[in-house]
Structure 1
Amino acid sequence: YLYYVKSDKSNYTKVIDYATKVLGSNPATSVRDWKSLGALDINGSVQPNAYVDATNGANLLLVSAGSYWGYVHAPYGLGERYAHGPKVGNETCNSVGPWGSDYYMGVWSNSSALPTKIVVMKITQYKEVVDAVAGTINGHMINAAFTTDETLLCRAEAYAMKEMYPQAIADLNIWREAYTRSTTPLTTESINDFYGSMEYYTPTESTVKKKLNPDFTITNETQENVIHCILHARRLTTLHEGLRWQDIKRYGITIYRRLMNDNGTITVTDKLEPNDPRRAIQIPSDVISAGLKPNPRTK
């Protein structure tokens, strides 16, 4: 319901109603215990195994898939060209928010001197041995497809879109207490001060504040700043899980292809603007060969 905006905003009412059914009367007891998770050994699969523990009430739906993502994104010398590195990490797990930058989940990198990957240990690879002699495997992963934490932030966004800011910020404070070590409550004023004074992101001067170009109307500065805060929290909470793309499409955020050389100089080589047809993933080539019309492309 969050992604299908209706003119009367009734979709947001449904988000609130159903999220409340999931979270119950005391949502603080429903979200993940990030403090305990972050206290576990950061090496190996200890944290990822705990993250997808089926007995954890924060996991609403776990999905297994054939994938090498748990290995490719991990802090190893693999997949470094398009990795989640220190530069983009300043917008995510190393970012500063109105809650500060002290998070329960630590980060791991593939090098203490020259890291190319900055990782939060939530996803690991599970190996299916294909040939023990040849050493071949199939990779698998378990994804927490629906969680109470993301449900809470969906409700916060719905409240913000209905201009119910005290309720939205109350949900953000539940998230803050669970995910960060901050003891200072978020307020309308602190959110407006933090995001209102921040420069918008540019490819060479990155910040967590992106220019928003949604198909719906953002009515005022407070609404925009609260949305920036929610999107910031969502980006932290769902890091490495692929959900950021939903936020990018929902809010019409432009994405830049950046090339960084050895001395850190950034060159923009391409960009995906809100109306770029490439934002719709292309259908498989074998389906196109069978006669189905492909999604349009201009490049």
Structure 2
Amino acid sequence: MKNKIYIYIALTALGISASGCKKFLEHTPDLRTQLNSTEKVAQLLTSAYPKGTYLDFTELSSDNVEDKGPRSDYRTLSTAVSWERNYFWQDFVSGSEEISGTTDFYWSSAYLAIASANTALQYIENNPIDAKLRAYKGEALVARAYAHFMLVNLYARTYVPNGTNNSPGIPFLTAPETVVSGKYSRETVAETYAKIEKDLTDGMPLIDNSVYKAAPKYHFTLNAVNAFAARFYLFKGDFAKSIMYAGKVLTTPDQIKPMLRPWNTTYQNAAFDAFNIMFTQSSQNSNLLMGEANSVWARSHYIRYGFGRATAAATVSAANVTGGEFAYRGTGPFIEPFFTAYKFKELFFESKIGSGFGDPYIMVPLFTVDELLMNRAEAYTSSNQFDLALQDINTFLSTRIKNYNPAAHTVTLARIASFYNITDPKEGLIKTILELKRAEFISEGIRWFDLNRHGLTIRHSMLDANGKTTFIELGKDDPRRLFQLPEAAVKAGLTLNPR
């Protein structure tokens, strides 16, 4: 992967190593003496974004998956065991920090990203007269905020607006590592959120799009950082700020519509192989921030547990509040049971050209206009601005419904009440937004965060050899809704999540 060496700029965070790091530590792992120019700081910051992905474990732990039943033709993948553990909400075992797609791997990759950001910030702090570093300071602060934000929302209790939030958060690191096995502690969720907010608000004014000459959508541009801020404040329950930051990207419906994914036009008519390339291209107006992740998630349809017929019927193929038909791509080009939303194109990084050995990876949309619009709709709803929430919902749906006709498909409070049999307008709007997001972000891992924020019970099916189906559930207060810290974190002085 590009600039892969910069992942090792700082010593491994929290004593957890990425694959191959042990050999690296036998030499001199700290390359900060080579960090001596603005150009090298810019290059270093390409590794300030996690190179792992949360898609596998958040999606497979959510209600977007099912047991498709026993068969003999499922693929045997190295990650299949970890994916199965996700489905049954089981913790990972020792050594899984080296398996892409696991909670341990993401923890490690996020702290490696933080280490890169901290190393850049240290250099910038030591060179205050270099004005060219201002924009990179902004990027490093926001990138550090993002990695910590993802960590606290995956490995700690969900933030409760106006709550005490005094349960254990995650270590917030603000300096490069100087020892291999340092000792750390878990701050509270409230303290973690406060530090994330400070990094975010300190970094935002420094962001300058002009420094990103190439591949700007792989960096925190102004649009991407505003989308991050809108999500952060929605999760925090500060709806006015969420709306404000979303408004810096989103203006009128006519301006927003060309920025949304073209599901009922371009995507609808594209061949599957063209569609899954398009979906993660930085040239797509909807993609605000892209991430590169070591992952085999593009092959997830080949295993027993995942997106299937029942899930499709409840999401992308379901009846919806407009009375029209979704324009989503359904279950992909494969035959049952190998259902897939087909959103990700697997790429391959050869460790040596022509060797056939290396790492599979995908490009992941980390922030999109589509999510931003629906986040604003939720913030409007939560602040009782129902008309504005409906406007955002209908703008969103104008690109999601086949042969969209405003006269026939416009959503109103009365239509929501009738469709969901919910009389309270706020409750009905929240239900509408969450259901639309569920269908929209199938296989993208976002549903997990919504399920936790709203305390929704998760239900998974289990199908035996005779075709009998039973169910298991994960309640809103179940401790397994916090992903477990890696075993190695205990050696760094951290307390594991309760089980």
User: Could you tell me the TM-score, scaled by structure 1's length?
Assistant: 0.80
Question: Contact 1:93/1:120 (CA < 8 Å) preserved in 2?
Answer: no
User: Is 2:260 aligned against 1:21?
Assistant: no
Question: Contact 2:434/2:450 (CA < 8 Å) preserved in 1?
Answer: yes
Partner of 1:39: 269
Instruction: Say which SS state the counterpart of residue 105 (structure 1) adopts.
Output: coil
Q: C-alpha separation between the residues in 2 aligned to 1:36 and 1:189?
A: 32
Higher helix share: 2
Q: Kindly report structure 1 stretches of 4+ aligned residues shifted beyond 6 Å.
A: 131-134
Amino acid at match of 1:49: I
User: Is 2:443 aligned against 1:240?
Assistant: yes
Q: C-alpha separation between the residues in 2 aligned to 1:232 and 1:86?
A: 17
Instruction: Say which SS state the counterpart of residue 342 (structure 2) adopts.
Output: coil
Amino acid at match of 2:257: A
Partner of 1:152: 373
Amino acid at match of 1:37: Y
**RMSD after superposition:** 2.1
Instruction: Say which SS state the counterpart of residue 496 (structure 2) adopts.
Output: coil
Which deviations, in whole Å up to 9, do the C-alpha atoms of 1:10-39 show, x marking residues without a partner? x11111111111112332232222221221
User: Is 2:492 aligned against 1:271?
Assistant: no
Question: Contact 1:123/1:141 (CA < 8 Å) preserved in 2?
Answer: yes
RCO higher in 1 or 2 (8 Å CA, sep ≥ 6)? 2
- Displacement of 1:85: 0.5
Q: C-alpha separation between the residues in 2 aligned to 1:2 and 1:146?
A: 14
Gaps of 5+ in 2: 1-232
Q: C-alpha separation between the residues in 2 aligned to 1:187 and 1:58?
A: 25
Partner of 1:231: 434
- Displacement of 1:132: 7.8
- Displacement of 1:121: 2.2
Q: Summarize the alignment of residues 276-291 of structure 1 with structure 2, pairs less than 5 Å apart.
A: 276-291=478-493
Q: C-alpha separation between the residues in 2 aligned to 1:262 and 1:168?
A: 46
- Displacement of 1:261: 3.2
- Displacement of 1:257: 3.0
- Displacement of 1:157: 0.5
Count matched residues: 260
1:57 to 256, 279, 285: 285
Higher strand share: 1
- Displacement of 1:86: 0.4
2:296 to 47, 63, 68: 68
Instruction: Say which SS state the counterpart of residue 459 (structure 2) adopts.
Output: strand
Amino acid at match of 2:479: P
Which deviations, in whole Å up to 9, do the C-alpha atoms of 1:228-253 show, x marking residues without a partner? 11011111221111000010000001
Q: Call closer, same or farther: CA 1:64–1:111 in 2, change over 3 Å.
A: closer
Q: Call closer, same or farther: CA 1:96–1:264 in 2, change over 3 Å.
A: farther
Q: Which moved more, 1:156-165 or 1:253-262?
A: 253-262
Identity over aligned residues, as a percent?
28
Partner of 1:2: 234
Partner of 2:83: none
Question: Contact 1:256/1:271 (CA < 8 Å) preserved in 2?
Answer: yes
Which deviations, in whole Å up to 9, do the C-alpha atoms of 1:140-174 show, x marking residues without a partner? 01111101111000011111111211111111111
Partner of 1:172: 393
Partner of 2:454: 251
Amino acid at match of 2:291: V
Q: Call closer, same or farther: CA 1:130–1:120 in 2, change over 3 Å.
A: same
Partner of 2:308: 85
- Displacement of 1:55: 2.0
Partner of 1:192: 417
- Displacement of 1:263: 5.9
Q: C-alpha separation between the residues in 1 aligned to 2:490 and 2:356?
A: 36
Q: Call closer, same or farther: CA 1:129–1:231 in 2, change over 3 Å.
A: same
Instruction: Say which SS state the counterpart of residue 118 (structure 1) adopts.
Output: coil
Instruction: Say which SS state the counterpart of residue 108 (structure 1) adopts.
Output: coil
Q: C-alpha separation between the residues in 1 aligned to 2:369 and 2:262?
A: 11
Q: C-alpha separation between the residues in 1 aligned to 2:465 and 2:410?
A: 41
Amino acid at match of 1:28: K
Q: C-alpha separation between the residues in 1 aligned to 2:468 and 2:398?
A: 37
Q: Call closer, same or farther: CA 1:263–1:155 in 2, change over 3 Å.
A: farther
Q: Summarize the alignment of residues 89-104 of structure 1 with structure 2, pairs less than 5 Å apart.
A: 89-100=312-323, 102-104=325-327
Instruction: Say which SS state the counterpart of residue 460 (structure 2) adopts.
Output: strand
Larger radius of gyration: 2
Q: C-alpha separation between the residues in 1 aligned to 2:401 and 2:453?
A: 26
Q: C-alpha separation between the residues in 1 aligned to 2:278 and 2:467?
A: 36
Question: Contact 2:258/2:285 (CA < 8 Å) preserved in 1?
Answer: no
